Structure 1
Amino acid sequence: MLAESDGFNKTEVETCAQLFMRLASKPSLESLDLHLFPSHFPKPGEVVEIHGASATGKTELLMHFISKCILPKRWNTLLINGIEAEVVLIDTDFKFSVIRLYQILKEQLMKIIDVDSNDICTSSWAAQTETLSSKTHSKEPSKKDQQTIKNEKVLEELVQSCLDRLYLVRCSSSEQLLITLHSMENVFSKHPQMTVLMLDSVSSFYWEDRVKTGDNWKSFEALQDNIIDLLQKLVQDYRLVVFLTKNSTSQHFKSGKFSHNPNTDHGQIEAFDCKYWSKLSAHRLILTRDDFPFPVVVKGNEMYASYFVKVFNKKEHHHCKFYINSNGILYA
């Protein structure tokens, strides 16, 4: 134990502990999404901006990333190919649906562990039916029904273990966001497996803050800078990968449709607060709707909404198309 006379105090000892946690190995996001990040994937200390107008799939894309992050690498002897990382999501739009994420995880795991979806969907009903039957007729459940109930239980436990890696926080003002980011330092110092911090979205309070600060533009800038400085400190100190969503508009939007102009430069995308936040980003994803005014048919009689994403980073830029259905994101 170090005495205070040796030049050490309690705060400095805690800082050493935090340094140890920061230097701990974190899960790699190399396999996060090979369509969007085929070679230059997000690394610790980097920020990914996700731009797009309303209803262009920004939150859905975050769910896609979250599901990949919190899935396990293996389950018993079965290879799942998840990242097994812990994720903190700060929801400022109050539209993130845990039920939707649960559905995506369940569908992905059913495909991997080869569980009959019909059995899974009806297992709760089957369990109740067998319970009632056993009371009235003293009949033992069949082997098939027992297996169905067992599969459902295993799947539920596996999905729950995935959701345990997600920490969801909701903020309703910039002041709450500042307080939350301050409190996150204590959380990250105790959880070295926390690899990803997501903020959906950074532009939620723009107009509210503009009204509060009025014509005093310096006050508005100071509030934005405080949030950015604190976020930068967390990214650098705890080697986080950060995903930010931002509402944006573009001169290439026409009635909700995006013009696929190969000469379009990512600098032409306008965002409410791009001036302050853009200095953080190492990757930029620009999302647009590709199906206006009607969705396209991609499989049989099923119609899915289609989206177009352009990816920019320091080393490359490319684009791809994806659809959103009940099971999540499907690339074209």
Structure 2
Amino acid sequence: MAKGWISGDESAKEMLGRALKDRPLLMLPSPLNRVPLGVNNIVEILGPSPSAKSEILLQMAVTCILPKNRNGVEYGGMGLSVLFLDLDCRLDIFRLSQSLKLQITKAIRLHKVTNNQKDGEYEIEELNLFTECMKRFSYTRCYDSFEFLACLKVLHYKLEKDRSMDGSASGVRVLMIDNIGAFYWIDRVFSSLPQGNTSRKNICLQSVTEAVVQEIKKLLMLHPLLVVATKTVTSQVKSSYSSRVSIPLYREYMPSIWQSFVTHRILVRAADDKRKLNDRDSYLAEWLLPALKLTDQFVVDDNGITTLMRGLVN
């Protein structure tokens, strides 16, 4: 078998096709569509509060749970299940359901206009699709690091159960964590307190973060997932790449084991007042890893996230 693998011959096109079939890229909404992302990538969305971090996760979830097409209607989704771990305990489920309903309604309305169909059709289809999509969204709240770790440990069994029941390739492909640094200060204070039992390993911020990273790594070994985590920036300073370009930076506070675990990092922040559009606050997104040195501007409204300008020099 090894000899056959070594002597095998395939073109670059065949190799890429095989690799993308096993590890497909995910077509994510703005501003995450600037770079190719797939399973086993760890994406960190960081920024001050508020900077639309949770909204990006929400719109990404809608895109994932919507199907690509169904009964001749193009919805533009991916038909994948999503695991959402809410460490901030602030996700607006009503906002998620409203965004999902709006996307379904828009797709059906466009299909009716294109095919000259009467109003009154697809009402049952719209309701059934909404129910089907919401079943693909799994939501869990965690109130401290220990609940978070316990949740990560049981995810493996949940995914195995879902795979055995579903039996298809289109299963859970995305794990969302909002916000990975939610318990940082609590864990930091707790680690400074005296530990009573010296025979046990001391619980500290570093050990908790190491355990989180190890559990996610174990999960990825058996279940290929795209992990997307938000992180709130506590403070910002100004720096520059050159004498004429000034960019905001952030002060890193997560332990180094998490920093090295992240494969992609994007910074989002509110734009200044001069960039408002119709009294709507606009936001800027910049990829730090990989460092593109480009900024995208977007707004958030009832339609979700709308990109205004792309490729602005920051």
TM-score w.r.t. length of structure 2: 0.75
The one-letter code sitting in structure 1 at the alignment partner of 2:102 is: E
Other-structure match for 2:149: 178
Other-structure match for 1:241: 226
The answer to whether the aligner puts 1:110 opposite 2:105 as a matched pair is yes
The answer to whether the aligner puts 1:160 opposite 2:131 as a matched pair is yes
Other-structure match for 1:290: 271
Distance of 2:80 and 2:284 partners within structure 1? 27
Other-structure match for 1:214: 192
Q: After the TM superposition, which residues 1-332 of structure 1 pair with which residues of structure 2 at under 5 Å, given as runs?
A: 28-33=24-29, 35-38=31-34, 40-114=35-109, 151-192=122-163, 193-214=171-192, 219-252=204-237, 268-273=249-254, 275-291=256-272, 294=273, 297-298=276-277, 302-314=278-290, 316=292, 318-332=294-308
Cα contact 2:30–2:305 (8 A) shared by 1? no
Distance of 2:300 and 2:222 partners within structure 1? 36
Distance of 2:37 and 2:81 partners within structure 1? 15
Cα contact 2:265–2:290 (8 A) shared by 1? no
The one-letter code sitting in structure 2 at the alignment partner of 1:81 is: G
Secondary structure of the 1:303 match is coil
Gaps of 5+ in 1: 1-24, 117-146
Q: How many residues align?
A: 268
Gaps of 5+ in 2: 1-20, 112-117, 164-170, 195-201, 309-314
Other-structure match for 2:18: none
Secondary structure of the 1:304 match is coil
User: Alpha-carbon deviation of 1:277?
Assistant: 1.5
Secondary structure of the 2:140 match is strand
Cα contact 1:195–1:240 (8 A) shared by 2? yes
Cα contact 1:305–1:325 (8 A) shared by 2? no
User: Alpha-carbon deviation of 1:265?
Assistant: 9.9
Cα contact 1:73–1:83 (8 A) shared by 2? yes
Distance of 2:83 and 2:247 partners within structure 1? 28
Distance of 2:276 and 2:93 partners within structure 1? 28
Distance of 1:261 and 1:288 partners within structure 2? 21
Tell me: CA distance 1:259–1:68, structure 2 relative to 1, closer, same or farther (3 Å). Answer: farther
Secondary structure of the 2:176 match is strand
Structure richer in helix, relative to its length:
1
Secondary structure of the 2:181 match is coil
User: Alpha-carbon deviation of 1:218?
Assistant: 7.1
Identical-residue share of aligned pairs (%): 26
Asked which structure has the greater CA Rg, the reply is 1
Tell me: CA distance 1:314–1:236, structure 2 relative to 1, closer, same or farther (3 Å). Answer: farther
How much is the aligned-residue C-alpha RMSD, in angstroms?
3.1
Cα contact 1:266–1:312 (8 A) shared by 2? no
